[in-house]
């Protein structure tokens, strides 16, 4: 007979999640937040990488990957997210004192609501830290220079979160949450559920412990209910009762209906699993092949092709260079025509991490005004030092006007 309790494991998972969500804003990589969307520059700081606004297709692919992953996990493990990881469930569990205070003295109830307000304020500021680094936010708070936008957002968020956790609680899961509705549609007859073992119906003492403990007030003995959040509280409640009869819980996790057999690997799981892997592979490819140097070359409009006193043809360009990486770069500028190197000025361009700069560049080609042929050349920007960054752009070489 096993009488393992689920609740300690859920509490452990909830604690890990809380530490992670509260801790991530304080983690810095290369002097920047590990995960933060910077609103003024519209850049996403993502574990050492900076994604600029026009690179958000990587985020889009990440969203597709996470969506398929969620569908895949739901097909296999049902509402495991709701019961174990959803912040709504986690914080409701952490503010369980509010449920226990109901029916008690006014002072106890007031204290419980006050504590819930404190939790809401902390949750709200943690959310804001994913937009404003706590290393900027906290000093500004201490100095009284937080500003009305940040302070106001914090106040409004705290109020909304407090109303949710103080009054809505599991009603949100049972009635509003769109994810809960979606999950119901993704279930099949082999998805993991929490269910009552109908084969052992005769052993039920009808003590209703499983019903009393249920946060959404359902009787799992009547079968799967869309409102069930898979919190497993009914499993523990029945385990406790059945222990007295030296038997196992009548409620448990089952793949499909209790007693059903068959492979967990099925067509829908294979299809969604393959799409998830494909999304992950594409995401990895995009992330690893991402070039932190963005270069746009425009012809120098105010500087027409001309001859130098040394008898060279000179063409001018404007280089718009963005360093989207985390390190300052020293770049060498080169120009090639038909494999032969041309003189390019400036030879070196320095650009700091996260900076954008415009540089006027000149390419000198041998030739005379009468014999010079227009054509294409390659402008090459190569990083010096440990970074292996190379960007090539095709440019047109213009013919100088004959005097």
In the complex with ligand SF4, the residue whose CB is nearer, 206 or 302, is: 206
- Shortest reach from residue 174's CB to ligand SF4, in Å: 9
Q: Return the range that interacts with ligand SF4 (CB under 6 A); candidates 27-35, 234-242, 269-277, 355-363.
A: 234-242
CB of 195 to ligand SF4, least distance (A): 9
* Residue window 194-233: x/- pattern of binding to ligand SF4, with contact defined by CB under 6 A: x-x-------xxxxxxx--xxxx-x-xx------xxxxxx
Site residues for ligand SF4, window 339-378 (CB under 6 A)?
Answer: none
Region 273-292 residues binding ligand SF4, contact defined as CB under 6 A: none
Binding to ligand SF4 by CB under 6 A, coded x per residue (else -) over 235-274, reads --xx--x--------xx-----------------------
Minimum CB–partner distance for residue 225 and ligand SF4 (Å) = 7
Tell me the closest approach of the beta carbon of residue 221 to ligand SF4, in angstroms: 6
Find the shortest distance in angstroms from Cβ 233 to ligand SF4: 4
By beta-carbon proximity to ligand SF4, the closer residue of 186 and 238 is 238
User: Cβ 261 to ligand SF4, closest distance in Å?
Assistant: 23
Q: Which two tokens stand for residue 297?
A: 């070359």
Place of tokens 């009548």: 250
- Taking the least distance from each CB to ligand SF4, the nearer of 180 and 361 is 180
Cβ closest to ligand SF4, residue 216 vs residue 271: 216
Per CB under 6 A, contacts with ligand SF4 among 53-92 are: none
Asked if 365 contacts 315 with a C-beta cutoff of 8 angstroms, the reply is yes
Distance (Å, whole) CA 120 – CA 300: 56
Q: Select 217 or 260, whichever has its Cβ closest to ligand SF4.
A: 217
Closer to ligand SF4 by CB, 247 or 332: give it.
247
Min. distance of Cβ 18 from ligand SF4 in angstroms? 20
Residues in the chain: 403
How far apart are CB 131 and ligand SF4 at their closest, in Å?
Answer: 34
Cβ atoms of residues 365 and 338 within 8 Å: no
Smaller CB distance to ligand SF4: residue 226 or 264? Answer: 226
Nearer to ligand SF4, 39 or 198 (CB): 198
For residue 192, CA distances in Å to 75, 201, 253, 254 come to 8, 20, 7, 5
Q: How far is the CB of 168 from ligand SF4 (least distance, A)?
A: 16
- Using CB under 6 A as the binding criterion, the count of chain residues that bind ligand SF4 stands at 28
**What Rg do the C-alpha atoms of the chain give, in angstroms?**
31
Q: How far is the CB of 127 from ligand SF4 (least distance, A)?
A: 26
Rule CB under 6 A: is residue 302 a binding residue for ligand SF4? Answer: no
Nearer Cβ to ligand SF4 (249/276): 249
d(CA 63, CA 161): 25
Q: Which is nearer to ligand SF4, 89 or 153 (CB)?
A: 89
Residues that bind ligand SF4 (CB under 6 A): 194, 196, 204-210, 213-216, 218, 220-221, 228-234, 237-238, 241, 250-251
């Amino acid at each position: 007979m096993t009488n393992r309790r689920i609740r300690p494991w859920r509490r452990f998972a909830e604690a890990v999640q809380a530490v992670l969500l509260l801790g991530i804003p304080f983690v810095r990589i290369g002097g920047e937040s590990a995960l933060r969307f910077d609103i003024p520059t519209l850049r996403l700081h993502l574990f050492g990488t900076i994604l600029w606004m026009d690179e958000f297709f990587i985020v889009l692919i990440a969203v597709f990957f996470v969506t398929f992953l969620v569908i895949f996990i739901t097909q296999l493990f049902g509402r495991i997210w709701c019961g174990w990881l959803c912040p709504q469930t986690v914080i409701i569990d952490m503010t369980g004192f509010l449920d226990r205070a109901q029916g008690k003295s006014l002072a106890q109830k007031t204290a419980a609501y006050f504590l819930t307000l404190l939790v809401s304020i902390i949750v709200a500021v943690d959310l804001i830290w994913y937009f404003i680094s706590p290393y900027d936010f906290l000093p500004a708070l201490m100095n009284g220079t937080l500003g009305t936008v940040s302070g106001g957002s914090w106040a409004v968020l705290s109020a909304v979160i407090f109303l949710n956790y103080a009054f809505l609680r599991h009603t949100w899961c049972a009635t509003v949450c769109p994810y809960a509705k979606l999950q119901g549609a993704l279930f099949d007859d082999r998805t993991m559920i929490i269910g009552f073992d109908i084969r052992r119906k005769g052993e039920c003492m009808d003590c209703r412990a499983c019903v009393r403990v249920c946060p959404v007030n359902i009787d799992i003995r009547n079968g799967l209910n869309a409102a069930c959040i898979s919190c497993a509280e009914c499993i523990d409640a029945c385990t406790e009762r059945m222990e007295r009869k030296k038997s196992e819980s009548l409620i448990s996790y089952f793949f499909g209906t209790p007693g059903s057999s068959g492979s967990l690997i099925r067509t829908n799981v294979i299809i969604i699993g393959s799409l998830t892997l494909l999304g992950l592979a594409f995401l990895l490819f995009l992330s690893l092949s991402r070039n932190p140097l963005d270069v746009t070359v425009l012809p120098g409009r105010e500087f027409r092709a001309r001859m130098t006193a040394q008898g060279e043809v000179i063409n001018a360009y404007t280089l718009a260079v963005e360093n989207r990486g985390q390190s300052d770069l020293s770049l060498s500028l080169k120009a090639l025509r038909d494999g032969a190197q041309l003189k390019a000025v400036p030879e070196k361009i320095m650009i700091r991490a996260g900076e954008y700069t415009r540089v006027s560049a000149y390419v000198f080609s041998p030739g005379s005004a009468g014999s010079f042929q227009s054509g294409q050349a390659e402008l090459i920007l190569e990083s010096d030092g440990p970074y292996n960054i190379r960007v090539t752009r095709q440019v047109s070489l213009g013919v100088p006007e004959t005097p």
